[in-house]
Amino acid sequence: MSHELIDEAAPSERAAVPLQRREHLSTARGELRTVNVTTSTRPLAAARDTGRRPRVAIVHDWLVTYAGAERVLEQIIDCFPDADLFSVVDFVDDKDRAFLRGKRATTSFIQRLPKARTRYRAYLPFMPLAIEQLDVSGYDVVISSSHAVAKGVLTGPDQYHISYVHSPIRYAWDLQHQYLQESKLTRGPKSMLARLILHYIRNWDVRTANSVDQFVANSEFIARRIHKVYQRDAEVVYPPVDVDSFELETRKEDFYLTASRLVPYKKIDLIVEAFARMPDKRLVVIGDGPDMQKVRAKAGPNVEVMGYQPFSVLHDRMRRAKAFVFAAEEDFGISVVEAQACGTPVIAYGKGGALETVRDTGSRPTGLFFEEQRADAIIEAVETFERDPKRFRAEDCRENAERFSSAHFRDQFFARVARAVPAVAAVGPAYRDPQRRHDDDADNALESAPRVLAIDQSGVLGGAELSLLEVVKGLRARIEVLLFNDGPFREALDAVGARVDVLDSGALRNVRRDGGAVPKFGVLAGVAGLVRETRRRARGADVLYANTQRAMVIGVLAGKLARKPVVWHLRDIVSEEHFGRMQRAIIKGCAKLGLAHVIANSHASAKVFAELTSFDSSRIDVVHNGVDESPFRALARVPKEQLRAQIGLPQGAFLVGAFSRLARWKGQHVLLEALLHEPRAHAVFVGAPLFGEDAYAQELHDFVSRHELRDRVHFLGFRHDIAACMRAMDVIAHTSITPEPFGRVVVEGMLAQRPVVASRDGGVKEIVEHGKSGLLCTPGDAVALAATIASLHDDEALRERLARNGLAVARERFGKEQYVEAVGRVLDGVVTRAR
């Protein structure tokens, strides 16, 4: 029973979406419609009753090499570094054991059978028996990493078994006939024996599925296989891809690449045949295997077959290739993600995991598909790609690949386990440092970590929501999120494995923060409904963490009824310029009624809030927002000229970029007026009007027309590729005419390594030190702004110094790790004082 198909599982990974049920409640009389309510699983009895940290066992099929399944195993071990390891065999050489973090597996009797090191696959008929002999009865949680038999380990009723499935046993199910044909076992006594063994394995495979409490699949494709074979649902967590090892390259050369082990199902010979019929197009093939002679026989002079190559060569070709061609039907397809991590678009067979890792539609595609495994279909796809290759942007490919990073896998997989077994939250933080050693005090602190209910009014992905997303990822298993509207924010939370409830805010949706009218009955009814539902969910939390002003009002009322402390993360300056009289009165009343603590995003925000409410200053902490540097770091080596060419900006111009929604208080008109005083500068506006601000946007366009500035002003609208746009600029301008609560754009400009010019007001003064990490101007003063831009235009050394110092400041003071840790400390302190 030996064959290439009985090999290590092809990796698969993905942002998992939790299993959810849909509840529909009447919205009449202020009642709520609840959507996307995550289903809960049964608690872990042993750990719950004893209060101790649960013991975790990890079961893997076999340990003989480091391939796709072992990459997943490596990250699971990082999530649970104190777990014990079990496997049918363990023949990994000492020099190659780093991915096991020093662990030795407890093995089965097959380990001691003759020639098991080299012919372990021949013992497949005995593996069901072998896996059942591994004794994991002393563990509370059993995690199996299975592409063959690992999920069949025996567990008891008080043990929780979660199985990460790379695939149901392929050669026993839908690939049986392919396996028999390629093994030349279609006829005769050996064929009959092989079929009987596979029949026995299928029966055993279905029976043992009943002992798994929760399935996690490496792709939607495998989730469908699991449902077909086991009649069970599975959540999806895509397998880890080491995207950080692949560097983005935007300059592509005139050749295509395919790279794989040369085995029949990879269809490399089909790709080679297609390119042999396109002599004007060059193909590079990297890989070795049993199909090498077939591949070489079909290759024409335009096809270079390089054979096996070290990673450095593969990486180099993958970065420079025009596109990566992939013709296999894979469960996931790790090479497809690696190519995109290099900024290389993909031409792939439109079945299997590629459908989940490559975007072929929308405004930001990362590849395209062909529908049949035929040379003609590949030729047609390549010709389609050649007609418009510029629509595939390297930055979009890289951004898509980052969804499948190792860090994302750890966050998502650990969240799945912790959601099912909350007691494992006590061991969760160890994955950030697998070598960390816990003393008793640290263990006790982790086990008693307060549980948080985070509340946000929005379904959109604004600055406040992006900041909350980092907190949710950092606090992982001990935080739940309650939203008052559905939308992209909920999808982003789902993608990191967060537990999310969404309530329909009803009439409350139309309340504006600058409104001053007395609330109508429908609004009051909506508030009552939200309070009731929030109070119900607050029962399982130790602290309510409100992320927005409307969420704070609901949180205070619900917290008062549930007798839970409420912390408001203040992200606004609650002044007359930003809030109406009624809204400020409500904020003042809530501060007195039930706010336990306030986290302000700047001293400016804290000062105005304290003046409005007379709130005790000892209960206000300033925690500056943290910004993720990775999108900017990925573009660090990409020349500015390349980015301008891709975006469509003039090469030789001195570009000053403004990044925010188009709103009067953001002051885009000030930058336009500055252009009249500094004719050498161009202005680039990235953003769109959002909240009824279309009239202001039209004013800006009218100003440009009236003053004949069309050649020097570039409106890019809403963009996803902020990092690329910022790095295409010479200067980043922040032009708000009223105080900014924080100034996230300023930090992003620093991370983009561009000099920043900002309004001297609000939270910005806490970010920029004038003359050192940026330059400050009087808000609304177009003449001063023009003079500052002129000084930067004339002094390249000044631009470089400000950019260098700004980057250092952003990294030191506004990193996402210290931000999450600071928020966590405040929340924990509030709970400690309330107990």
Q: Report pLDDT for 34.
A: 37
| Helix axis angle, 394-401 to 334-341, nearest 10° | 130
Q: Report pLDDT for 646.
A: 82
Upper half-sphere CA count for residue 343 (Cβ side, 13 Å)? 22
Q: With contact defined as beta carbons under 8 Å apart, do 218 and 164 qualify? A: yes
Q: What is the pLDDT of residues 658-717, one digit of tens each?
A: 999 899 999 999 999 999 999 999 999 999 887 678 899 999 999 999 999 999 999 999
Structural domain harbouring 332: 243-404
Is residue 1 one of the residues assigned to a domain? no
Element spanning 744, H or E? helix 744-751
Nearest to 830 by CA among 542, 548, 456, 541: 542
Q: With contact defined as beta carbons under 8 Å apart, do 567 and 830 qualify? A: yes
CA 679 to chain centre: 42
Is residue 414 one of the residues assigned to a domain? no
Q: Are residues 306 and 216 in the same domain?
A: no
Q: Are residues 696 and 576 in the same domain?
A: no
Is residue 308 one of the residues assigned to a domain? yes
Is residue 821 one of the residues assigned to a domain? no
The domain tally of the chain equals: 4
In whole angstroms, give the CA distance from residue 509 to residue 520. 13
Q: Are residues 232 and 253 in the same domain?
A: no
Distances in whole angstroms, Cα of residue 629 to Cα of each of 342, 633, 763 = 18, 6, 20
Distances in whole angstroms, Cα of residue 371 to Cα of each of 46, 273, 377 = 51, 17, 7
Q: Report pLDDT for 30.
A: 35
Is residue 422 one of the residues assigned to a domain? no
Tokens of 625: 């927002």
Torsion-angle region of 12 (φ positive above 0: left; ψ -120 to 50: alpha; else: beta): beta
Q: Are residues 644 and 518 in the same domain?
A: no
Read off the CATH number of the domain in which 699 is found: 3.40.50.2000
Nearest to 337 by CA among 394, 379, 387, 400: 400
Q: Are residues 605 and 722 in the same domain?
A: no
Is residue 409 one of the residues assigned to a domain? no
Q: Are residues 284 and 174 in the same domain?
A: no
Q: Report pLDDT for 390.
A: 87
In whole angstroms, give the CA distance from residue 181 to residue 172. 13
Is residue 483 one of the residues assigned to a domain? yes
Q: Report pLDDT for 691.
A: 67
Read off the CATH number of the domain in which 56 is found: 3.40.50
Q: Report pLDDT for 328.
A: 92
Q: How many residues does the chain have?
A: 835
In whole angstroms, give the CA distance from residue 149 to residue 88. 9
Q: With contact defined as beta carbons under 8 Å apart, do 517 and 56 qualify? A: no
Tokens of 774: 């940026």
Alpha-carbon radius of gyration of the chain = 29
Is residue 142 one of the residues assigned to a domain? yes
Q: Are residues 381 and 300 in the same domain?
A: yes
Q: Flag residues of the chain having pLDDT under 50.
A: 1-50, 426-447, 514, 516, 518
Q: Report pLDDT for 447.
A: 47
DSSP state of 427: G
Q: For residue 2, give the amino acid letter.
A: S
Q: Burial code of 623-635, b = ≥16 C-beta within 10 A, e = fewer?
A: bbbbbbbebbebb
Q: Are residues 603 and 735 in the same domain?
A: no
Tokens of 627: 């910004």
**Which residue, 180, 208, 238, sits at the end of a domain?**
238
Q: Are residues 268 and 315 in the same domain?
A: yes
Q: Are residues 319 and 336 in the same domain?
A: yes
**Which residue, 337, 372, 404, sits at the end of a domain?**
404
Transcribe 653-676 into DSSP letters: SEEEEEES---GGGTHHHHHHHHH
Q: With contact defined as beta carbons under 8 Å apart, do 430 and 436 qualify? A: yes
Q: Are residues 362 and 296 in the same domain?
A: yes
**Which residue, 606, 622, 638, sits at the end of a domain?**
622
> What SS3 state is found at 48?
helix
In whole angstroms, give the CA distance from residue 613 to residue 591. 7
390, burial (CB in 10 Å: exposed 0-12, middle 13-18, buried 19+): exposed
Spatial neighbors of 174 by CB under 8 A, at least 6 apart, are: 225
Q: For residue 91, give the amino acid letter.
A: F
Element spanning 306, H or E? strand 303-307
Spatial neighbors of 664 by CB under 8 A, at least 6 apart, are: 693, 696, 737
Q: Are residues 724 and 781 in the same domain?
A: yes
DSSP state of 772: T
